[in-house]
Amino acid sequence: MADSNVWFITGAGRGLGVNIAQSALSAGHKVVATGRNADKVLAAIGEHENLLTASLDITEPAAADKAAQAAVDRFGRIDVLVNNAGNFYAGYFENISDEQLRKQMETNFFGPLNVTRSVLPVMRKQRSGQVITITSAAGLIGQEFCAAYAPSKFALEGWMESLRYDLEPYGIKTMAVEPGFFRTELLVEGSSTIWPELVIEDYAERTAQTIAAWSSMNGQQGGDPKKLAQALVTLSDSKELPLRFLAGADVMGSVEQNLAVIQGQIDAHRDLSSSLNYES
């Protein structure tokens, strides 16, 4: 990979995507910043000679192909793909409609797959590249009110963990990024967060309380997205991507606790688990 790389970023019209684009540009890289509305992406990031904005709905494979081709037409290559676009269908499982759950998977899981399918032929031809996918702490640990969101992120984790084996022979590296709570627009109602459609009396009080709690967190999260964006640029420029980057002290603590719980569960049933082989 060259010292000045071409970054292709999804969800770059607001939130973390804007910060990643600006950090990459500040580091001297070229950036293809995409979002549903290219004009809004440009307005959010600001004019720059090394910036190309493109309209992209990640749920549409043809749109991903078009944006990837635009990147190659302008800059000749794609070195770093950042799968950042996503949203949050919040709620308890029985309150989330089937349509909502499927839309969650279409955006958070199949969307990154669509974009990556469009970009990988370019990277394979180059025999170099990086695929960086933003998942979530909820992609490693299931959480209350995340019965649609967590599965979409768990799916990304499994995909990324397996994708590395596909791509290593071609000089393409992968990294999954698991942010904790950062002060982005993820919790903005009607923007990135969608509340459950269905009403079930047993869940009504808990749903109301949880929505109030999540809403009150918006703008109060402890993580600084500008620092996260700079960290991603630093990791990319090091050319030694970790397979996972747990972003934030909160997510590190939660994962460490969860690993201890899993180890305890292994130890508690070690003899039973070890007794399941066929007897010779």
Query: Has residue 69 got a pLDDT over 90?
Result: yes
Task: State what percent of residues in the chain have pLDDT above 90.
Answer: 82
For residue 248, give both structure tokens. Answer: 């934030």
- pLDDT of 187 > 60? The answer is no
Of 1-10, 98-107, 182-191, where does the model show the most confidence?
98-107
- CA angle, 89 then 95 then 97, to 5°: 65
> What are 127-167's pLDDT values in tens digits?
999 999 999 999 999 999 999 999 999 999 999 999 999 99
Mean pLDDT over each residue of the chain, to the nearest integer: 92
Cβ count near 14 (within 10 Å): 17
Q: Name the residue with tokens 């070690």.
A: 270
**What phi, psi does 248 have (nearest 5°)?**
115, 140
Tell me the pLDDT band of 280, cut-offs 50, 70 and 90.
Answer: confident
H or E segment and range at residue 227: helix 225-238
Q: In this predicted structure, what is the pLDDT of residue 231?
A: 94
Alpha-carbon torsion 203, 209, 214, 218, what sign? positive
Residue among 56, 22, 51, 55 at smallest CA distance from 38: 55
Q: E-assigned strands of the chain? A: 6-9, 30-35, 51-55, 80-83, 88-89, 129-134, 172-179, 193-194, 244-247
Catalytic residue selected from 92, 149, 170, 278: 149
The yes-or-no answer on residue 89 being catalytic is: no
Sort 190 into a burial class: Cβ within 10 Å, 0-12 / 13-18 / 19+: exposed
Positive/negative CA dihedral, 18, 23, 24, 28: positive
Residue 186 pLDDT exceeds 80: no
What per-residue confidence (pLDDT) applies to 167?
Answer: 98
Under 8 Å between Cβ of 105 and 151: yes
